[in-house]
Amino acid sequence: MAQNKIVTDENLMESAKHGTDGYPFKCYFEKLSQFDFHCIDWHWHTEWEFVYVESGNMTACVGESMFSLSEGNGIFINSKILHRFYSSDETVIPNFLCMPSFLAPENSLIYQKYIQPIVSSSLSYLILNGENLWQGEALEIMKQIFSAQDREGDGELLTSVLMQKLWLIIYENIDKTCMEEQTDDSGSAQARLQLMMQFLHQNYVEDISLEEIACYANISKSTVLNLFNRFLHITPINYLIGYRLKKAALLIKNTEKKINTISYETGFHNVDYFCRAFKKSYKMTPTEYRKSKNSTVQ
């Protein structure tokens, strides 16, 4: 069943556990239209993620890259990589997540030789295009994995076998130059960005200046701007405003608080500005949004 919210902690790590300790694999069938703004917002997790675009088109932001994926294509996202998906249509994206150790124990030769080099590499993602021969084969195996979830009796075993087959195809065809260790610069850049995003999430109610963000991350103001633009393709201030609006939307939907109270509680000290910004993002006023969400629940 599709989810309609990705819950993360203050470090943007997804809070949900995918699968169990004994079976660290989980499959989802998601429609982007069921998420606010048709968007699965920024998050990361230790699991690998494999996404297939069953219908529609979507824009994917992974690490510092942004690109479009059309129907019939897919993507592999490496462990601990920030990513975000959004679409303007009814895009359907079945996907599954699994711990790399689902393929083999971390202390095994298989893991050390065929899995760890990619987990710790500079490879953030791999686009799977159905027109490419080996990538088309990988996509077909992904579809078999989706089908295996409905199989009774031996579905877990079949999933494990198919995952091994999928990983073998990827490992055999991946550009081995991508398997070099992640550079300190790349890793530290994402770490600093996550630190700044965490700072904004923890203090979004307060007036926050660019200088304060830079001071918190111990970098220059120009580097702050560069990192937000490089990874998120947005300014820090616009990111902060967007985060405040999401917090406000939750309060509007889940409480009976007055709109002006919610405005102040989410860092907007001018109610008129808050209402304009909310309508620009949500295409309706805060009051209209509350009515629409209440009518959906009834």
The answer to the question of residue 6 being in a domain is: no
Indicate if 175 and 189 belong to the same structural domain: no
The answer to the question of residue 11 being in a domain is: no
CA-CA distance, 49 to 56, in Å (whole number)?
Answer: 19
CA-CA distance, 285 to 298, in Å (whole number)?
Answer: 20
Which CATH number does the domain housing residue 204 bear? 1.10.10.60
Q: Give the pLDDT mean for 90-102.
A: 96
Which CATH number does the domain housing residue 59 bear? 2.60.120.280
- The pLDDT-based confidence of 190 (bands split at 50, 70, 90) is confident
**Is residue 184 within a helix (H) or strand (E), and if so which, with residue range?**
helix 184-203
pLDDT tens digits, one per residue of 212-240: 999 999 999 999 999 999 989 899 999 99
The answer to the question of residue 3 being in a domain is: no
Q: What count of residues does the chain have?
A: 298
What pLDDT score does 15 carry? 62
Indicate if 151 and 166 belong to the same structural domain: yes
The answer to the question of residue 13 being in a domain is: no
The answer to the question of residue 5 being in a domain is: no
The answer to the question of residue 293 being in a domain is: yes
The answer to the question of residue 34 being in a domain is: yes
Indicate if 46 and 144 belong to the same structural domain: yes
Handedness of CA 12, 82, 166, 136 (dihedral sign): positive
Q: pTM score, two decimals?
A: 0.81
Indicate if 111 and 210 belong to the same structural domain: no
CA-CA distance, 54 to 193, in Å (whole number)?
Answer: 32
- The pLDDT-based confidence of 109 (bands split at 50, 70, 90) is very high
Handedness of CA 248, 249, 250, 251 (dihedral sign): positive
Residue 146 scores a pLDDT above 50? yes
Residue 1 scores a pLDDT above 60? no
- The pLDDT-based confidence of 298 (bands split at 50, 70, 90) is very low
What pLDDT score does 191 carry? 84
Handedness of CA 174, 71, 148, 27 (dihedral sign): positive
Out of 179, 194, 210, pick the residue that ends a domain.
179
- The pLDDT-based confidence of 177 (bands split at 50, 70, 90) is low
pLDDT tens digits, one per residue of 251-281: 999 999 999 999 999 999 999 999 999 999 9
The answer to the question of residue 16 being in a domain is: no
Handedness of CA 131, 133, 139, 143 (dihedral sign): positive
Indicate if 169 and 35 belong to the same structural domain: yes
Indicate if 144 and 224 belong to the same structural domain: no
Domain count of the chain?
2
Q: Which domain holds residue 166?
A: 25-179
What pLDDT score does 182 carry? 56
74 with 94: CB under 8 angstroms? no
Indicate if 51 and 76 belong to the same structural domain: yes
What are the beta bridge partners of residue 26?
97
- Across the chain, mean pLDDT equals 90
Out of 179, 214, 230, pick the residue that ends a domain.
179
What's the token pair of residue 135? 């990538």
**Ranges assigned E (strand) in 71-175:** 74-77, 83-86, 92-98, 125-128
pLDDT tens digits, one per residue of 6-62: 666 666 666 677 889 999 999 999 999 888 778 898 889 999 999 999 999 999 999
Indicate if 119 and 218 belong to the same structural domain: no
Indicate if 64 and 166 belong to the same structural domain: yes
Indicate if 224 and 272 belong to the same structural domain: yes
- The pLDDT-based confidence of 155 (bands split at 50, 70, 90) is very high
Out of 160, 179, 198, pick the residue that ends a domain.
179
Q: What is the 8-class DSSP label of residue 94?
A: E
Indicate if 191 and 276 belong to the same structural domain: yes
Indicate if 148 and 215 belong to the same structural domain: no
